[in-house]
């Protein structure tokens, strides 16, 4: 259990939140949400003891073991992958090291023998004999193959390092787990594994995430940082979102009587409560919702950008023909004899654990890389716009402000038009004069999406467009992609976006070959389970 009493945090003269009184109990998963810069990660760091609050206290059971997802990918470079994971239980790791050091001595004293006996007992009590197999199971679930388990962390790809650090946080049955963006850089299969792990976990979980599907599946409560306050609500993200929208609409409608509003809210609670059947946490979540009062419904000050794509002309019958595309890089086969034809209604999600292969396919489709073999042919009436996975080339060293940067891609150069357009993407007032090179990751993505919207293209290619976006922007992008009537080829770690947008799945396997299915993402996953 974690108890937060009268917590307040001030940063640079600004109060991020104050008067925070919360209790986090075992058996529940708490999703922490809020706009970028609201203090989500900072709140986790306060709970972990990494930083101090301005006022207030955090009480944690002295016997409870807390595990935190580390953010520094290089801090374990001197250790192997396996050792790094086992270090998630420091007491077990140190016990094993001390025990091994004694046995490595040329001669053992009586004291060494006594100490070794004590350590053997403690090692067994802490689950030391099963540690490597448990660590291996977690690593493989997250997509880190056994051949990497003995590899030094310094030699690991950064995307795999992230998975190792996540495995470390999950290892050893901690009482409390704090996770800051655990689904970042995870492929969809790894996210599904993580969901299953957390749904079976009996301790206390606090997680910051921009993945709506993930929050819906694992969370029993939503902790919202808004208005300089932190409030806890029963239910998953969808319940929080839909109820906050309903509350806002009812608050605007002053003509309705209080009792009528109350009845509408109560009807909403009852309807949503009855539908909580997705996860193994559903029963307990439903019971909590049934006890919810109207006064506990959330109100939100969130701002949502507007994302909408409009083609300047209709594409013809022929869209895209890919034939026998093969590509290797650094002696690794990324694509192996890849062939597919894009039809009129196709919105294609490209998935696969090797993200280099996915990105390479996008680059070849856009002509930014040449295949070793094979051809790519676009229909003569198609026009393409591309959202690259790495957008740094558009911003690094660029001295333009947002207004002038956007003017490069717009046929209408008028400031009034551009300001109105940028306002819909949440760039208002003097913000439009910020130099693009100093923008945050999320602001850069919103700029790139604006560039895409201004293109008028009838074929969109998006490589991980949800990276760095907050929940509100992801929801807006989801709506924009769903409403676009022409072809989209995209990759995303966001399960809900992939499920609701794609009607076709192309999976790139480890050997570079593909599986191509006309179905939704959930249907594809079900086929693979069969």
Of 73, 74, 60, 4, nearest to 32 by C-alpha is: 4
Q: Tell me if 501 is assigned to some domain.
A: yes
Tokens of 238: 């969808």
Whether residues 220 and 258 fall in one domain: yes
372 and 289 share one domain: no
Residues 292 and 390 in one domain: no
Cα torsion angle, 403, 409, 411, 417, sign:
negative
Is the residue at 284 inside a domain?
yes
Entry pTM? 0.75
Edge-first strand order for the sheet with 373-378 is 332-342, 320-329, 373-378
Cα-flanking dihedrals φ and ψ of residue 378, to 5°? -90, 150
φ, ψ of residue 461 to 5 degrees: the values are: -125, 120
The predicted structure's pLDDT at residue 106: 78
Write down which residue in 168, 197, 221 finishes a domain.
168
In a domain, 240, yes or no: yes
pLDDT at 123: 80
CATH number of the structural domain spanning residue 237? 3.40.50.300
Same domain, 86 and 20: no
Q: What Å distances lie between residue 367 and 9, 55, 362, 364, 375, CA to CA?
A: 50, 56, 9, 5, 11
Q: Of 117, 142, 168, which residue constitutes the final position of a domain?
A: 168
Same domain, 56 and 89: no
- Same domain assignment for residues 447 and 517: yes
Name the DSSP letter for residue 174. Answer: -
Shared domain for 128 and 164, answered yes or no, is yes
Hey, what are 71's tokens? Answer: 């953010």
Per-residue model confidence (pLDDT) at position 299? 60
Out of 116, 147, 168, a domain closes at 168
Judge whether 396 lies within some domain.
yes
Which residues make Cβ contacts (< 8 Å) with residue 137, sequence separation at least 6?
Answer: none
One domain, residues 341 and 474: yes
What DSSP string runs through 216-260? HHH-SEEEEEETTEEEEEES-HHHHHHHHHHHHHHHH-TTS-HHH
Flag whether 193 is in a domain.
no
Give the C-alpha separation, 235 to 281, whole Å: 10
Q: Are residues 470 and 398 in the same domain?
A: yes
Residue 419 structural domain: 320-529
Q: Are residues 261 and 407 in the same domain?
A: no
Model pLDDT, residue 277: 46
In the numeric block, the tokens 């209408």 are attached to 412
Shared-domain flag, residues 329 and 408: yes
Per-block mean pLDDT, blocks of 10 residues, the chain (530 long): 83 76 90 82 87 82 89 89 90 84 81 84 84 92 91 89 93 92 83 90 91 88 84 82 71 61 61 52 53 56 83 93 95 94 95 91 96 96 95 91 93 90 88 90 91 94 90 90 96 91 95 95 83
pLDDT at 278: 47
Domain count, the chain: 3
Assess if residue 194 is contained within a domain. Answer: no
Residue 494 lies in a domain: yes
**Cβ pair 143, 190 in contact under 8 A:** yes
Strand, helix or coil for residue 111:
helix
The answer to the question of residue 366 being in a domain is yes
Tell me, yes or no, whether 138 and 220 share the same domain: no
3-class secondary structure for 119-141? HHHHHHHCCHHHHHHHHHHHHHH
């Amino acid at each position: 259990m974690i108890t937060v009493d009268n917590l307040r945090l001030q940063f640079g003269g600004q109060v991020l939140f104050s008067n925070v009184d919360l209790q986090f109990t075992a058996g529940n998963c708490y999703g922490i949400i809020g706009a970028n810069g609201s203090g989500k990660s900072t709140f986790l760091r306060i709970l972990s003891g990494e930083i101090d609050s301005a006022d207030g206290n955090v009480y944690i059971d002295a016997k409870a073991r807390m595990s935190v997802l580390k953010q520094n990918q290089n801090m374990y470079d001197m250790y192997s992958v396996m050792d790094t994971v086992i270090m998630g239980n420091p007491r077990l790791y140190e016990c094993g090291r001390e025990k091994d050091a004694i046995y490595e001595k040329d001669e053992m004293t009586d004291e060494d023998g006594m100490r070794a006996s004590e350590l053997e007992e403690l090692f067994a009590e802490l689950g030391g004999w099963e540690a490597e197999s448990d660590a291996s199971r977690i690593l493989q679930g997250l997509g880190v193959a056994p051949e990497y388990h003995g590899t030094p962390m310094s030699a690991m790809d950064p995307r795999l390092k992230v998975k190792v650090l996540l495995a470390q946080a999950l290892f050893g049955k901690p009482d409390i787990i704090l996770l800051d963006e655990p689904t970042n850089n995870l492929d969809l299969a790894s996210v599904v594994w993580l969901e299953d792990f957390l749904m079976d976990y009996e301790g206390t979980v606090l997680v910051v995430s921009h993945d709506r599907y993930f929050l819906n599946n694992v969370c029993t409560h939503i902790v919202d940082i808004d208005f300089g306050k932190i409030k806890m609500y029963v239910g998953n993200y969808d319940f929080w979102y839909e109820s906050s929208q309903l509350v806002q609409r009812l608050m605007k409608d002053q003509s309705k009587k209080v009792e009528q509003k109350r009845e509408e809210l109560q009807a909403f609670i009852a309807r949503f409560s009855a539908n909580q059947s997705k996860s193994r946490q559903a029963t307990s979540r439903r019971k909590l919702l049934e006890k919810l009062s109207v006064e506990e419904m959330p109100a939100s000050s969130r701002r949502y950008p507007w994302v909408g794509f409009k083609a300047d002309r209709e594409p013809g019958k022929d869209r895209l023909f890919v034939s026998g595309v093969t590509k290797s890089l650094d002696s690794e086969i990324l694509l192996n004899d890849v062939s597919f034809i894009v039809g009129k209604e196709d919105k294609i999600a490209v998935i696969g654990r090797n993200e280099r292969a996915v990105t390479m396919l996008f680059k070849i489709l856009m002509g930014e890389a040449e295949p070793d073999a094979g051809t790519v042919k676009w229909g003569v009436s198609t026009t393409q716009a591309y959202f690259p996975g790495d957008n740094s080339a558009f911003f690094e060293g660029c001295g333009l402000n947002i207004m002038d940067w956007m003017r490069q891609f717009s046929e209408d150069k008028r400031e009034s038009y551009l300001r109105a357009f940028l306002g819909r993407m949440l760039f208002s007032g003097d913000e439009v004069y910020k130099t693009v090179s100093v923008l945050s990751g999320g602001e850069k993505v919103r700029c790139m999406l604006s560039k895409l919207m201004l293109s008028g293209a009838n074929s969109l290619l998006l490589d991980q467009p949800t990276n760095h976006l907050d929940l509100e922007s992801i929801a807006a992008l989801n709506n924009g992609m769903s409403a676009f009537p022409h072809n989209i080829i995209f990759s995303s770690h966001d399960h809900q976006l992939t499920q609701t947008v794609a009607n076709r799945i192309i999976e790139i396997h480890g050997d570079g070959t593909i599986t191509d299915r006309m179905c939704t993402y959930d249907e594809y996953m079900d086929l693979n389970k069969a």
